[in-house]
Chains A and B, each alone.
Chain A
Amino acid sequence: MTATATSARSDLSELGRSETALRTFLHGLPGVDQVGAEQRAAQLGTRSIKTTAKAEAIDLAIRMVDLTTLEGADTPGKVRALAAKALRPDPADPSCPHVGAVCVYPAMVPYVAEVLRGSGVHLASVATAFPSGQAPLEVKLADTRAAVAAGADEIDMVINRGAFLAGRYSEVYDEIVATKEACGDAHLKVILETGELATYDNVRRASWLAMLAGGDFIKTSTGKVPVAATPPVTLVMLEAVRDFRAATGRQVGVKPAGGIKTTKDAIKYLVMVNETVGPDWLDPDWFRFGASSLLNDLLMQRTKLTTGVYAGPDYFTLD
């Protein structure tokens, strides 16, 4: 279902000019009932996706994976291997689609860029002093520019959670605007770090703030704090992008990241996308999974569906 044509398109671009206007707007958004949101997310998780639907869902999920490694121990060799896997996730089966993107630290971008060039797989880099964001704005922007210069066409930034929770919305907004500018043509994903936002009301406000400031994607988590993506958090963010498009006409993507490890989990998220925002978002341009181990489980289930038997984990590459 697309947004109804009856809703008047609003120009919300002026909101960012004043702290008061931003605050009034964000606090005027409808609240989220925690129990109800969690119940709805759980309910969507009970859909039974079998046979042909499962096969389609697995291939779509593979195409949506942002294959990620964000470790201090990452090496050029490791990220090259990861990029090679992104291109051909299942070397034994050429019909297996490539993933959506590879996501690495800025220092690793040049090595990945060599492998991915011209392949259609995007190259995402975290930036803005990921994961804490605790650096001066100048440093964050330099971090972003460096990643783009090295070949990243997607930037995953973190918001300033301290400023957000303290109610300094303009500060968060301005940082996103500045980062977006530093991105140039690269797509900007805004990480809300929902595990630190405490309430679903805050998740909804942060989602709108990021979209108002020009984010192309809103992303749940860095994967570096104990609570990462959860179904109800993703549900609230999907509702936000749905309502934002209805209000402004601009479509924003969603990326749950961290903690999504199994095919079953991934399919639950796809069901949620399907029934909350509809088929317009069922595309790697509008929905991604930030994950690493998920890909191998998707490949295992894919092989099971095509061959009828489970292959052991040794048949899939570790990276």
Chain B
Amino acid sequence: MFEYAPAPESRSVVDIKPSYGLFVDGKFVDPTDGGSFKSINPASEEVLAEIAEAGSEDVDRAVRAAREAYERVWGPMPGRDRAKYLFRIARIIQERSRELAVLESLDNGKPIKESRDVDVPLVAAHFFYYAGWADKLEHAGFGANPRPLGVAAQVIPWNFPLLMLAWKIAPALAAGNTVVLKPAETTPLTALLFAEICQQADLPAGVVNIVTGAGETGRALVEHPGVDKVAFTGSTEVGKAIARSVAGTRKKLTLELGGKAANIVFDDAPIDQAVEGIVNGIFFNQGHVCCAGSRLLVQENVADRVLESLKRRMAQLRVGDPLDKNTDIGAINSSAQLARIRELSEAGAAEGAERWSPPCELPDRGFWFAPTIFTGVTQAHRIAREEIFGPVLSVLTFRTPAEAVEKANNTPYGLSAGIWTDKGSRILWMADRLRAGVVWANTFNKFDPTSPFGGYKESGYGREGGRHGLEAYLNV
């Protein structure tokens, strides 16, 4: 047996301060009422830092700073000058990529190979991409002189902390808006490091403000009368509450919410690559992915073969220390999320689906969940309907392409879908009928800043990425 020796990435590349204030008007400041919370490493439950909790007064201060910066500096600044700042930020992100990757893995629990090879490169790519648009907005297809909206309130989730920050901040700044961003309470550290990067890039004070805190901070931010735009990525439940709270205001809203994507494997699929795609679809980032391929629809005449290959492949997944370069599956982000994954998995077993996990040893401390598949799942099972947001795959079979479409669409969500077949015509036929914002063919979980991303139905509205992503931040 070929045992891989531990290959940990050094955590000494990143310097975590014992405590962090709020980033308002270009400076780190203490919160008015002095509240704070702790951010922990989900792989060890070790406290990483003490984080300031922003109350409504702090949020107000941040929104006013953003307004001031919008009116005096960033709004009037020519696009080519805004571009210079964004290019500079993108380059600093590349230069400090190792530091960002290690910090992301520490705070979030995701494997270093993903933060290093996926998250951080995409973050830099997003800033580079939108930097290029800043002086070309009149050519983006939204009319002659598209204007920014003003101050954007942005609330992001914990699954891709820095990447979601980039998806929000890069287009907003390129279009000429200023922002107040609230990172998730379990993963604020890379956003705070990003604040330091803004200082390093000499970004004018107030253009980017970071307020940390939990749900109440988020509510104060999106309900603040001084914001012109609200952008939220997170759960459908919170998304609905936000939609209600901004209804009837002048605020423009984009929501990127949950998903329950179908990954559809036909009998003529390239099986080995499809299995890779299934694994990547559900086990990438511990399944903490809104567009995760959490429902596998496999044609019945190849189901046994695909499942056999899938189980063999799952036995190769290495679960453990997120900082080890050979780790495939890291820690679940929080005990609350772990409890939810456990509850839904138990419901799956109780409702009669067959549960399987490869033999795998989980660490004693921290939050862990073994990669799991459920076979014999029907559309009526909770694990086929509710978003689990963890490394749990529900396997269903189908007989005809029409049945595959029907099952894939039979969900309140509509964020993404995958199709695996060697037949090009079938890919197009399926893509026409699938009600999902993104349809991947013979691949899964592929992201690129040039490609718009967003959902149908309860997966939200608005698009992020590409030329389309600018529309959310322009008065068109």
Contacts and interface: CB of A to CB of B under 8 A. Distances in A.
Interface stretch (A26-34, A127-135, A140-148, A291-299): A26-34
A40 B276 contact: yes
A35 B272 CA distance: 12
A10 to B, nearest CB: 13
Nearest to A267: B2
A1 B315 CA distance: 8
Nearest to B279: A40
A270 interface: yes
A31 B5 contact: no
B276 A36 contact: yes
B3 interface: yes
B6 to A, nearest CB: 8
Contacts of A46: 113, 117, 325
Contacts of A6: 308
Nearest to A282: B2
Nearest to B422: A31
B4 A36 contact: no
A50 B422 CA distance: 39
Nearest to B308: A4
A48 B325 CA distance: 6
In this complex, the interface size class of chain A, counting residues with CB under 8 Å from chain B, is 20 to 34
A243 to B, nearest CB: 9
Nearest to A275: B316
B308 A54 contact: no
Contact of B2 (A31, A32, A57): A57
A280 to B, nearest CB: 10
A47 B443 contact: no
B268 A31 contact: yes
Nearest to B116: A46
B269 interface: yes
A35 B312 contact: no
A271 B328 CA distance: 14
B5 A51 contact: yes
B352 interface: no
A53 B4 CA distance: 5
Given A36-B270, A48-B7, A48-B325, A274 B442 contact: no
Nearest to A6: B308
A222 B106 CA distance: 47
Nearest to A39: B276
Interface centre among A7, A33, A39, A56 (most CB of B within 10 A): A33
A279 interface: yes
A307 interface: no
> Which residue of A48, A57, A270, A275 has the most chain B CB atoms within 10 A of its CB atom?
A48
A32 B325 contact: no
Given A30-B271, A32-B273, A270 B2 contact: yes
B5 A35 contact: no
B34 to A, nearest CB: 44
B270 A32 contact: yes
Contacts of A60: 2
Nearest to A240: B272
Contacts of B5: 49-54
B1 interface: yes
Nearest to B117: A46
B2 A47 contact: no
A15 interface: no
A52 B270 CA distance: 37
A274 B273 contact: no
B277 interface: yes
B263 interface: no
Secondary structure of the A side of the interface? helix
A181 interface: no
A40 B7 contact: no
B270 A30 contact: yes
B273 A40 contact: yes
A279 B362 CA distance: 23
A19 interface: no
Contacts of B269: 30-31
A35 B443 contact: yes
Contact of B270 (A31, A56, A279): A31
B326 interface: yes
A150 interface: no
Nearest to B420: A33
A177 interface: no
Nearest to B267: A30
Interface in B264-316: 268-273, 276-277, 308, 312, 315-316
Contacts of B1: 279, 282
A204 B4 CA distance: 29
A239 interface: yes
Interface string B303-337: 00000100010011000000001100000000000
A30 B269 CA distance: 7
Nearest to A270: B2
A71 to B, nearest CB: 34
A81 interface: no
Contact of B326 (A33, A39, A48, A52): A48
Nearest to A7: B308
A49 B270 contact: no
Contacts of A271: 2
Given A46-B113, A56-B2, A37 B273 contact: yes
Contacts of A270: 2
Most buried by A among B117, B270, B315, B422: B270
Contacts of B276: 36, 39-40
Contacts of B272: 30, 32, 36-37, 40, 239
Contacts of A30: 268-272
B283 to A, nearest CB: 13
Contacts of B2: 53, 56-57, 60, 270-271, 274, 279, 282
Contacts of B270: 30-33, 36
Interface in A257-275: 270-271, 274-275
A33 B273 contact: yes
A71 B213 CA distance: 71
A207 to B, nearest CB: 13
Contacts of B6: 50
A46 B318 CA distance: 14
A268 to B, nearest CB: 12
Interface in A204-218: none
Given A32-B273, A54-B5, A271-B2, 18 more contacts: A30-B270, A31-B270, A35-B273, A35-B443, A36-B270, A36-B272, A36-B273, A40-B276, A47-B325, A48-B7, A49-B5, A50-B5, A53-B3, A53-B4, A56-B2, A57-B2, A239-B272, A270-B2
Interface of B: 1-7, 113, 117, 268-273, 276-277, 308, 312, 315-316, 325-326, 422, 442-443
8 contacts: A1-B316, A7-B308, A33-B442, A35-B443, A36-B272, A46-B113, A54-B5, A56-B2
For the complex of A and B, list the 6 residue pairs with the smallest distance between their C-beta atoms, beginning with the closest.
Answer: A36-B273, A48-B7, A48-B325, A53-B5, A33-B273, A33-B270
